[in-house]
């Protein structure tokens, strides 16, 4: 159990990611994105100004909660350029150069190896300033949230919406739900569903301050990229599943609706909020039983033996405040307490001290249940007796 809690502490860390990287268009696997997040905890810069992440296999197992050998096989395959399937080298980003406004393609990972149970990732040195020493324009992401997501589209949306939410909250200084609109083609580009495909016309359009996404959509279709072209399929397989996963597994609350032009869906409107943070339960205060007993003996030695005081303390789990309240209540009780120890234990158990004690009042003078008369004039009665 202790080891399990420590593993949870490891994944509960956060990491910074440049907003430029988050909002870049590109394609990569969910595992590539997760390894990037884990790698942020283990980075250094080498002599060629490349960011290098070194991750031990034991840490990978803890992060992915895996005990089988298949995890290592997946990572080995991801680092093998000869594998026919997707590898970590396929993670490419299209980013606009701030200086000249040109769209540039960047291969994120330039070298990767998994040897002797250690994963080493070397990132493109053109991205170094977007990975380390971030002072501004970044978003703090949860490692546990990132690792919990299975779909690469859920993971990308988590980053995009968290980045947009935090930025808007910081600028507008407003809490609560925020709204963000995306053109449908723009969203598919950022999710990596479609890309420029090396088409210069698409790149030229993307370089504009206000791209014509309808034109880009037509050009993309000519390149043969028709995945999730129909909105109902895109909605069912991407948006709906991502919404369910984000709401269930991350700190975000996400909803969305289509933006329509006539009957055609042209965009998506996201509604984003953050879940309330559940305050961590404070650790119980450590009680020194000997100190409590010493205080209670000083307080109650006139009424109780040491053995009885210890019995009362155990009844109250050594909560000295409860015992003092019960003791004060007993002292102000309106009748004589015949068995003080029984009274104290019962008082602690039922918390009688939370009710105000009844004031002490004199009993009525009575004999055989006859109430004494208080309306007799004794001086007059004495005079009558003397006269007789």
Q: Per-residue pLDDT for 75 more than 50?
A: yes
Name the pLDDT band for 359 (thresholds 50, 70, 90).
very low
Residue 152, pLDDT > 90, answer: yes
Residue 5 has pLDDT above 70, yes or no: no
SS3 316: coil
Q: Is residue 358 scored above 60 in pLDDT?
A: no
- The band of 376, judged by pLDDT with boundaries at 50, 70 and 90, is low
Q: Give me the sign of the Cα torsion angle 365, 368, 372, 376.
A: negative
Q: What are 96-147's pLDDT values in tens digits?
A: 877 777 888 888 999 999 998 899 999 999 999 999 988 999 999 999 999 9
State the Cα–Cα distance between residues 255 and 239, nearest whole angstrom. 10
Residue 302 in this model has a pLDDT that exceeds 90: no
What is the pLDDT at residue 368? Answer: 45
Write the CB contacts of 273 (distance below 8 Å, at least 6 apart in sequence): 165, 176, 177, 178, 252, 253
How many Cα atoms within 13 Å fall on the side-chain side of residue 116?
1
Q: Which two tokens stand for residue 240?
A: 């709906």
CATH code 1.10.10.10 region(s) in the chain: 1-145
Q: Quick one: pLDDT at residue 377?
A: 55
pLDDT at 29: 85
Quick one: which H or E segment has residue 184? helix 184-191
Q: What percent of the chain has pLDDT over 90?
A: 39
- What is the average pLDDT score of the chain? 84
**Per-residue pLDDT reduced to its tens digit, 44-56:** 998 889 999 999 9
The helix/strand/coil state of 261 is strand
pLDDT at residue 277, rounded to an integer: 65
pLDDT in tens, 176-202: 999 999 999 999 999 999 887 778 898
Higher pLDDT, 360 or 152: 152
382 CB burial (10 A radius; 0-12, 13-18, 19+) = exposed
Q: Which CATH class is domain 1-145?
A: mainly alpha
CA dihedral over 361, 367, 368, 371, signed as positive or negative: negative
Tokens linked to 224: 């043969």
Q: What is the pLDDT of residue 146?
A: 94
d(C-alpha 203, C-alpha 236), whole Å:
29
Q: Please write the tens of the pLDDT for every residue from 246-296.
A: 999 999 999 999 999 999 999 999 999 999 866 555 555 677 888 888 888
């Amino acid at each position: 159990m202790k080891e399990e809690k420590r593993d949870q502490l490891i994944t509960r860390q956060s990491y910074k990611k440049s907003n430029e990287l988050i909002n870049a268009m590109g394609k990569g696997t969910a595992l590539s994105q997760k390894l990037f997040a884990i790698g942020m905890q283990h980075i250094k810069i080498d002599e060629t100004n490349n960011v290098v992440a070194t991750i031990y296999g034991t840490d990978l197992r803890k992060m992915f909660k895996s005990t089988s050998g298949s995890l290592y096989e997946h990572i080995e395959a991801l680092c093998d350029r000869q594998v026919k399937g997707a590898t970590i080298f396929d993670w490419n980003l299209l980013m606009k150069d701030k200086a000249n406004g040109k769209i540039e393609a960047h291969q994120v990972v330039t070298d990767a190896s998994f040897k002797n149970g250690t994963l080493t990732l070397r990132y493109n040195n053109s991205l170094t300033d977007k990975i380390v020493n971030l002072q501004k324009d970044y978003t703090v992401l949860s490692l546990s949230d990132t690792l919990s997501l299975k779909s690469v589209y859920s993971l990308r949306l988590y980053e995009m919406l968290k980045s947009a939410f935090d930025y808007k909250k910081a600028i507008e200084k407003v809490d609560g739900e925020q709204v963000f609109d995306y053109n449908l083609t723009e969203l598919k580009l950022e999710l990596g569903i479609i890309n420029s495909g090396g088409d210069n016309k698409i790149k030229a359009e993307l370089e504009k301050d206000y791209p014509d996404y309808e034109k880009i959509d037509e050009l993309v279709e000519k390149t043969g990229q028709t995945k999730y072209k129909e909105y109902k399929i895109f909605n069912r397989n991407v948006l709906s599943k991502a919404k369910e996963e984000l709401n269930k597994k991350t700190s975000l609350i996400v909803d969305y609706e289509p933006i329509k032009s006539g009957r055609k869906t042209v965009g998506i409107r996201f509604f984003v909020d953050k879940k309330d943070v559940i305050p961590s339960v404070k650790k119980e205060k450590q009680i020194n039983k000997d100190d409590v007993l010493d205080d209670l003996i000083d307080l109650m030695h006139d009424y109780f033996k040491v053995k009885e005081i210890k019995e009362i303390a155990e009844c109250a789990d050594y909560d000295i405040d409860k015992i003092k309240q019960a003791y004060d209540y007993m002292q102000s009780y309106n009748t004589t307490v015949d068995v003080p120890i029984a009274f104290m234990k019962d008082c602690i158990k039922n918390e009688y001290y939370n009710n105000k004690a009844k004031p002490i009042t004199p009993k009525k003078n009575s004999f055989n249940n006859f109430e004494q008369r208080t309306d007799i004039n004794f001086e007059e009665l004495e005079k009558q007796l003397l006269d007789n």
